[in-house]
Amino acid sequence: MTPRLSMQSAYETFLNAACARLGYSASMKSLLSLAALEIKVEIPIVRDNGELAIFSGYRVQHQGARGPCKGGLRYHPNVDMEEVRELASLMTMKTALVNIPLGGGKGGIDCDPHKLSVRELETLTRKFIKRIHREIGPNSDIMAPDVGTDARVMGWIHSEYSAIYGHSPAAVTGKPLALGGSVGREKATGHGIGIAIREYATRYGKPLKGATVAIEGFGNVGLHAAQALCELGMKIIAVSDSRSAVYREDGVDLDALIKRKKERGLLCEANDLDALKPAQLLELDCDYLLPAALGNVITAENAPRVAARIIVEGANGPVTSDADRTLKERGVVIVPDILANAGGVIVSYFEWVQNLQREVWPPEKVDSELARILGKAAHDVFDHADATGLDLRSAAFDIAVSRVKEALDATGF
Ligand code: NAD
């Protein structure tokens, strides 16, 4: 059983601290904390074996003052309203930090996509959209892939939504290229992690070549981040997925791992020489630790044993608030999720813009615009941290929270 993904206390703790530093009233703090709209629907489907199964689908629109709500759709057995609400709040802060004209949303269905057939998954996705289509769309709430979903699922959403409203590619991002997806979206989050690390290392004079990295999670984010970090000359010494992990002091063979994962669904067998227990990866001695799987994996319990010098949050909310405090006291630098993994939502924004304008951008434009927007956000955070002495997460939250408040104030009450 994977850990409960709640990060409510972490998000609330970071938000409360930012509001206190910025001198905001209790009612403004509540407004920044509460979701604007929460939807829960029950979705019955007939399984391939003829049995009826009922899943719960969720969508939360946290804040739309800066633009339509934007955020992923997660398929995972642990999904519930609390988790989706928390992830939606984080999206509001992420879009504000990177200063794109979007708000924050998130959704999910409490299913295990690995235990459903393609037909069952498609039926579930289409029924979910049939139930909530009035609340989503290019000007209100735009979905994207997250844990357990991918371009194929986004394609079904596009098809179902367009069947009701006419061709509407801007209603969902992360679609297949054939349906108006953007070049570069699939690798965007991992690629963005490479940009965030490069900017951090350059700014603070840390060597990249040969710097050691351990990566938890080998899905969309972990795999593409591994490729981006290899291109920077960094040495990936360990990677894990939910079932297996591999460690090699002199660097893993990334291409071989990708091939093995694709062919056998595993990074390595338990008795392989390089095998490691997935949980051990978080405590490896390395320069950079990249949690890129689920939330709440670095806790008060294991934080004292984290041996990495720098944690880069590829996942959303991988560090609890207690662990955050412990790591800070120990001098471990954390590049926060709302900066580190924002590459995905930035390229989703490009996809939305291309769809609205009926344009197709070339890869060079996507890459250079991503580097420009994410690079600017990173240096905004570094500048604020350097000027105030705050850690990077606190600096990032101060910038994001104040931008959301500015928009709320401007809309009037
Ligand atoms: P994914 O479903 O593609 O991959 C998740 C990976 O995590 C899989 O390899 C899975 O095996 C692994 N995993 C699960 N439990 C694990 C465990 N206990 N130990 C080690 N590995 C484990 O999901 P993804 O899209 O890569 O998302 C990963 C994280 O990044 C999530 O927190 C998500 O919210 C966040 N994120 C994703 C995007 C995106 O564009 N996909 C953008 C921003 C943030």
For atom 39 of ligand 1, the residue with the nearest CA is 146
Is 242 touching ligand 1 by the criterion CB < 6 Å? yes
Cα radius of gyration (the chain): 20
Is 145 touching ligand 1 by the criterion CB < 6 Å? yes
- Ligand 1 centroid to Cα of residue 219, in Å, is 5
Rounded Cα gap, residues 330 and 396, in angstroms: 20
- Strands laid side by side in the 212-216 sheet: 275-276, 245-247, 235-240, 212-216, 288-291, 310-312, 333-335
Is 315 touching ligand 1 by the criterion CB < 6 Å? yes
Name the residue of 189, 267, 282, 337 whose CB sits within 8 Å of the most ligand 1 atoms, as the mutation to test its pocket.
189
Is 280 touching ligand 1 by the criterion CB < 6 Å? no
Judged by DSSP in three states, 103 sits in strand
Is 241 touching ligand 1 by the criterion CB < 6 Å? yes
Is 320 touching ligand 1 by the criterion CB < 6 Å? no
For 134, which DSSP code? Answer: G
Which atom from ligand 1 is nearest to the alpha carbon of 218? 9
- Ligand 1 centroid to Cα of residue 220, in Å, is 7
Domains of the chain: 33-169 (3.40.50.10860), 188-340 (3.40.50.720)
**Catalytic residue annotation:** 106
Contact 58, 84 (CB under 8 A): yes
* pLDDT tens sequence for the chain (413 residues): 334 444 457 899 999 999 999 999 999 999 999 999 999 999 999 999 999 999 999 999 999 999 999 999 999 999 999 999 999 999 999 999 999 999 999 999 999 999 999 999 999 999 999 999 999 999 999 999 999 999 999 999 999 999 999 999 999 999 999 999 999 999 999 999 999 999 999 999 999 999 999 999 999 999 999 999 999 999 999 999 998 999 999 999 999 999 998 888 888 877 777 888 888 999 999 999 999 999 999 999 999 999 999 999 999 999 999 999 999 999 999 999 999 999 999 999 999 999 999 999 999 999 999 999 999 999 999 999 999 999 999 999 999 999 999 999 999 98
| Other beta carbons less than 10 A from residue 313's beta carbon | 25
- Ligand 1 centroid to Cα of residue 222, in Å, is 7
Is 293 touching ligand 1 by the criterion CB < 6 Å? yes
Q: Which two tokens stand for residue 265?
A: 């669904």
DSSP string, 351-393: HHHHHHHT----HHHHHHHHHHHHHHHHHHHHHHHHHH---HH
Rounded Cα gap, residues 329 and 313, in angstroms: 18
- Ligand 1 centroid to Cα of residue 28, in Å, is 33
The CA–CA distances, whole Å, from 105 to 86, 94, 294 equal 10, 11, 18
- Ligand 1 centroid to Cα of residue 316, in Å, is 9
Please tell me the pTM assigned to this model.
Answer: 0.96
Name the residue of 106, 146, 152 whose CB sits within 8 Å of the most ligand 1 atoms, as the mutation to test its pocket.
146
Which atom from ligand 1 is nearest to the alpha carbon of 348? 40
Is 344 touching ligand 1 by the criterion CB < 6 Å? yes
For atom 19 of ligand 1, the residue with the nearest CA is 242
Which atom from ligand 1 is nearest to the alpha carbon of 223? 26
